[in-house]
Amino acid sequence: MNRITSTFSVFIALFGFYSCGVVEAEKVQVVDLEEKALQVITGGSFRYSEKSQIKNVLEAGRLERWESDGSSSEVWRVSNGFTLYIDGDKENHDAVLSGGRGTYEADLGHLIAYDDVELINSEGEKLNTEYLVWSNDSDIVRTNRPVRIESKTGTLEGNGLEADSKFENYRILNPTGAFELP
């Protein structure tokens, strides 16, 4: 009996040793596959210009530049809050877009904004939503999510919106609620 017990003990020890080695190898592989940003900038401010004229200024809590996934040359992930001054600099602009986080795809010229998104035009009209796509090249902002627009004359609500990037001309795609005209 002693011989059977000792053989069984050796078998269990060897099995435990080799199975632990396999688990350890799997953990190393997972760590090796972890994604890392190519560049990280904290508390950055960036000026975008055309023909020596400032077009837009972006201020962000954190920006990460990521390698292309094949669909665009550069992808920037914005987090910890951001503010985009549209058609001008911080002091002189036509509209302000802000949100909690976003993604900018350089080839498409699109900023996709998430989390407490707000767009304010030069007249003080304010759009609030949870998701908004700003297209720099086509001068359009749009969303298919619930929207709320506050103006001097009242509040509009609905689902979906299309507007110019300065938020001067806009259309709620599916208005909801009542709106009183003065």
Domain boundaries, the chain: 1-34, 39-176
Q: Which amino acid is at 156?
A: L
Tally Cβ neighbours within 10 Å of residue 141. Answer: 26
Query: Does pTM surpass 0.85?
Result: no
Taken as a whole, the chain contains a residue count of 182
Q: Would you state the pLDDT for residue 133?
A: 93
Range ranked top by mean pLDDT from 50-54, 63-67, 142-146 = 142-146
CB 138 within 8 A of CB 116: no
Q: Would you state the pLDDT for residue 51?
A: 84
Structure tokens at 85: 């001054």
Average pLDDT, integer, range 33-58 = 78
Q: Would you state the pLDDT for residue 96?
A: 93
Question: What is the share, in percent, of the chain residues with pLDDT greater than 90?
Answer: 30
Report pLDDT digits (tens) over 85-139: 988 888 899 999 999 999 887 777 788 999 999 999 999 999 999 999 988 778 8
CB 18 within 8 A of CB 47: no
Confidence of residue 41 (pLDDT cuts 50, 70, 90): confident
CATH number assigned to the domain covering 39-176: 2.60.450.10
Gap between the Cα atoms of 100 and 27, Å rounded: 33
Gap between the Cα atoms of 141 and 149, Å rounded: 14
